[in-house]
């Protein structure tokens, strides 16, 4: 079954799938994890989709590392 990035519950252990989308659901998760200062930028979005296996926890950790 494919993960629905628009409506499925996102957890830190959720794998980033090839069908990953920067949805409002993802934005809500990232704001909860990273705080009100969270923003997507092109470099970060490219890193998320770089075909290296990662989880949403890795995504949160990378955003925090870049700040």
Q: What is the pLDDT of residue 25?
A: 98
Q: Is the pLDDT of residue 1 over 90?
A: no
Q: Identify whether the C-beta of residue 11 lies closer than 8 Å to the C-beta of residue 33.
A: no
Helix-strand-coil percent breakdown of the chain, rounded to 5? 45, 5, 55
Secondary structure of 2-14 as H, E, C letters: CCCCCCCCCCCCC
Predicted confidence (pLDDT) per residue in 14-62, tens digit: 999 999 999 999 999 999 999 999 999 999 999 999 999 999 999 999 9
Domain boundaries defined on the chain: 24-66
H or E segment to which residue 61 belongs? helix 56-66
Per-residue model confidence (pLDDT) at position 14: 98
Q: Quick check: 30 and 63 in contact, CB under 8 A? A: yes
């Amino acid at each position: 079954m494919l993960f629905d990035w628009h409506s499925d519950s996102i957890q830190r252990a959720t794998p980033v799938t090839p069908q990953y989308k920067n949805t409002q659901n993802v934005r809500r998760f990232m704001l909860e994890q990273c705080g009100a200062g969270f923003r997507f930028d092109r470099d970060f979005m490219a890193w998320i989709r770089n075909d290296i296996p990662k989880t949403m926890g890795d995504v949160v950790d990378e955003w925090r590392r870049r700040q």
